Amino acid sequence: MSKAIPVGVSARHVHVTREHLDILFGEGYQLTVKKPLSQPGQFACEEQVDLITEKGSFKKVRILGPERKQTQVEISLTDSLKLGIKPPVRDSGNLAGSPGLTIVGPKGQVTIEEGVIAACRHIHMTIADAAELGLKDKDIVKIAFGGERGLIFDQVLIRVSDSFKLDCHLDTDEANAAKIGNSDTVELIK
């Protein structure tokens, strides 16, 4: 069975805790919504920070809201070369043993000992979507894109929750390799 799934391309970004937001932007600071993201309640923020390691840095990296229980930085594997670190490819929130870095905001900076990952490619879906497709949370599937640089991606994680909306998340490396954009769809292959 195959099914067309909309794609969201995810560039490098940061999720922050309340504690770290206070340090980076000032006590009681509230994130400012720039635009909603594909997943309900998620949004790109106006706020940006710098990411720094001993070997490299990125300026003006966007924060995504809302606040999280643990600060997390998501980068591509190409980004990791510039930063000189080796992030594991992991599901969001699985941060144990990952490298850290320094996050610099306008009011202060935070050094996290762990929290930098390259997010594994994944598909968000509702419980109804999963039932229709015969899938469950944490299943692994393949997806195909038939464009000019068509590819089949293996090891795509299924994430199921009624708080999700059907959407496939790829990082910039993956999207660039297949010439996939935010307006494209991929086919789910079971």
Decide yes or no: CATH 2.40.40.20 for domain 2-7+121-189. Answer: yes
CA dist 187 and 145 (Å) reads: 6
> How large is the average pLDDT for residues 67-93?
97
Which pLDDT does position 43 carry in this prediction? 98
Q: What is the pLDDT of residue 147?
A: 83
Domain residue limits, the chain: 2-7+121-189, 11-119
Of the candidates 47, 101, 45, the one whose C-alpha atom is nearest the C-alpha of residue 73 is 101
What's the mean pLDDT in 10-16?
97
How much is the mean pLDDT over the chain?
A: 96
Contacts 24+ apart (CB under 8 A), 24-31: 24/49, 24/103, 24/104, 24/105, 24/106, 24/107, 24/108, 24/109, 24/110, 25/105, 25/106, 25/107, 26/107, 29/107, 31/63, 31/65, 31/66, 31/67
pLDDT of residue 1: 52
SS3 91: coil
